[in-house]
């Protein structure tokens, strides 16, 4: 029996990782440690909450004593650390919370793992601390060709007809960190702490940096679920700046599969970049989402294009993210499983089929927050 803590398991990506591990590894005991902030939602895990190999513990990762207690109580062998504040716009308004959770929370997890594992006779043997991070730590790539060029890489995700690369440079694991937002600065700092615990104490750590995820259960402040919900209600779609920024999109279940593979087969102290070779300008993705929602709702395709509303750009808005995940593909044989059009179709259908999930989140307090964010743009 392996006892594995997954932090942030009630959030978007964490819930997919918890579901995958609980279902795939009945011999493991998965302990989901989550504070249930605005972004944590136990409804994301309804289908597995009664499984015998699953335990939920409501706790703040910054609360070192409680975390230490969890390590001892469950005799923890491994950590997959996802808990974080994750939204760039919130980090611009409230950087302190991001430093507290992402930096101090990660440090608290590391220190508890270290103090607990050091007391065991086997010490680090069979242990693993896997930290989930973002490609945003690398900063922004230039958009050298706004029209797009033939990409140098082809994967299943990127072989769709819309796929283009918007520059010849990509994020590789050896790039220097140049974070721009308080969110990415805090994530960068947490990555450094994880590597420091390997280099200083010999803790068996792994870090991965992934591109933008999309799929079911994403909190609707992020681009894709927010826009699906706004199109459904015929509310304005706030496009930041000119909508020309480029992101590299990966279906969340492909990220969860990569995490499973790397947790079990990745090399200690290594970093792996995870991405889809699937670059899209925001405005192009928004048009695909509008057409898809319209079609599924039985509206004329493109009828809701008039909801597009250009608003003040995000401060320090990174121009382009594009991951080179060649190392992961070559060393561990991972690649995305879905073409983007399939992933978007699945995603839109999921949100439209699960309107109660969405309405539950977007009513009440969150609605007021969103209206005030929108009004300030």
Please provide the distance, in angstroms rounded to a whole number, between the alpha carbons at the two ends of the chain. Answer: 51
C-alpha closest to that of 266 among 206, 324, 210: 206
Largest CA distance in the chain: 66
Alpha-carbon torsion (276, 282, 285, 289), positive or negative: positive
Site string for ligand NAD, 201-240 (x = CB under 6 A): ---------x-xx-----x---------------------
- Residues 121-160 within binding reach of ligand NAD (CB under 6 A): 132-134
Is 135 labeled as catalytic in the residue annotation? yes
Has 369 been annotated as catalytic?
no
Structure-block tokens of residue 12: 């978007």
SS3 labels along 114-171: HHHHHHCCCCCCCCEEEEEEEHHHHCCECCCCCCCECCCCCCCCCCCCCCCECCCCCE
According to CB under 6 A, which one of 8, 182, 216, 238 is a site residue for ligand TYD?
Answer: 238
Pick the catalytic residue from 183, 214, 240, 321.
183
Residue the block writes with tokens 């690649």: 335
30, β-bridge pairs: 4, 54
Q: Which does 239 bind (CB under 5 to 8 A by kind): ligand NAD, ligand TYD, none?
A: ligand TYD
Query: If we measure between CA atoms, which residue out of 253, 221, 217 comes closest to residue 42?
Result: 217
Query: Is there binding between residue 222 and ligand TYD (CB under 6 A)?
Result: yes
86 binds ligand NAD (CB under 6 A): yes
Residue 159 tokens, joined: 């072989």
Say which of 60, 77, 136, 335 is annotated catalytic: 136
Map residue 38 onto helix, strand or coil: coil
Among 4, 83, 88, 338, binds ligand NAD (CB under 6 A): 83
101 binds, among ligand NAD, ligand TYD, none (CB under 5 to 8 A by kind): ligand NAD
Q: Which 3-state string (H, E, C) describes 48-98?
A: HCCCCCEEEEECCCCCHHHHHHHHHHHCCCEEEECCCCCCHHHHHHCHHHH
Please identify, among the stretches 2-10, 27-35, 239-247, 329-337, the one whose residues bind ligand TYD according to the rule CB under 6 A.
239-247
- Binding span for ligand NAD by CB under 6 A among 60-68, 149-157, 225-233, 295-303: 60-68
Give the integer Cα–Cα distance in Å for 212 and 294: 24
Tokens of 244: 């020309």
- Among 30, 31, 45, 62, which residue interacts with ligand NAD (rule: CB under 6 A)? 62
As measured in angstroms, the least distance from the Cβ of 143 to ligand NAD is 20
Say how far apart CA 81 and CA 98 lie, in whole Å: 15
Find the part of the chain contacting ligand NAD (CB under 6 A) among 6-14, 157-165, 338-346, 366-374. 6-14
Q: How far is the CB of 239 from ligand TYD (least distance, A)?
A: 5
Question: Among ligand NAD, ligand TYD, none, what does residue 213 contact (CB within 5–8 Å per kind)?
Answer: ligand NAD
Per CB under 6 A, residues contacting ligand NAD are 7-8, 10-14, 34-37, 39-40, 60-62, 82-86, 101, 105, 132-134, 187, 210, 212-213, 219
Which residues are designated catalytic? 135-136, 183
């Amino acid at each position: 029996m392996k006892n594995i803590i997954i932090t942030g398991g009630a959030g978007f990506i964490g819930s997919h990782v918890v579901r995958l591990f609980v279902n795939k590894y009945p011999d493991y005991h998965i302990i989901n440690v989550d504070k249930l902030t605005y972004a944590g939602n136990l409804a994301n895990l309804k289908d597995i909450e009664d499984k015998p190999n699953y335990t939920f513990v409501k706790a703040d990762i910054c609360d070192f004593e409680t975390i230490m207690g969890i390590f001892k109580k469950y005799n923890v062998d491994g950590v997959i650390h996802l808990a974080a504040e994750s939204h760039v716009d919130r980090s611009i308004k409230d950087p302190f919370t991001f430093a507290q959770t992402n930096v101090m929370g990660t440090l608290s997890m590391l220190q508890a793992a270290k103090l607990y594992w050091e007391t065991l006779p086997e010490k680090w043997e069979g242990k693993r601390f896997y930290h989930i991070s973002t490609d945003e730590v690398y900063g922004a790539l230039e958009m050298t060709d706004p029209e797009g060029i033939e990409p140098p890489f082809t994967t299943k995700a990127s072989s769709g007809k819309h796929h283009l690369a918007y520059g010849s440079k990509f994020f590789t694991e050896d790039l220097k960190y140049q974070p721009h937002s308080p969110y990415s600065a805090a994530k960068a700092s947490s990555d450094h702490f994880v590597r420091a615990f390997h280099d200083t104490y010999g803790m068996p750590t792994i870090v991965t940096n992934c591109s933008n995820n999309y799929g079911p259960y994403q909190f609707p402040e992020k681009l894709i679920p927010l826009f699906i919900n706004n199109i459904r209600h015929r509310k304005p779609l706030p496009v930041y700046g000119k909508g020309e920024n480029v992101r590299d999109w990966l279906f969340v279940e492909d990220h969860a599969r990569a995490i499973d593979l790397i947790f079990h087969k990745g090399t200690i102290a290594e970093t792996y970049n995870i991405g889809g070779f699937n670059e899209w300008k925001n405005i192009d993705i928004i048009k695909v989402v509008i057409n898809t929602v319209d079609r599924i709702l039985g509206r004329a395709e493109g009828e809701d294009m008039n909801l597009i509303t250009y608003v003040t750009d995000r401060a320090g808005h990174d121009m382009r993210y594009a991951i080179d995940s060649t190392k992961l593909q070559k060393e561990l044989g991972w690649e995305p499983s879905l073409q983007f059009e399939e992933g978007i179709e699945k995603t839109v259908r999921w949100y439209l089929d699960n309107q109660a999930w969405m309405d539950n989140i977007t009513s009440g307090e969150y609605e007021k927050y969103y209206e005030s964010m929108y009004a300030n743009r």
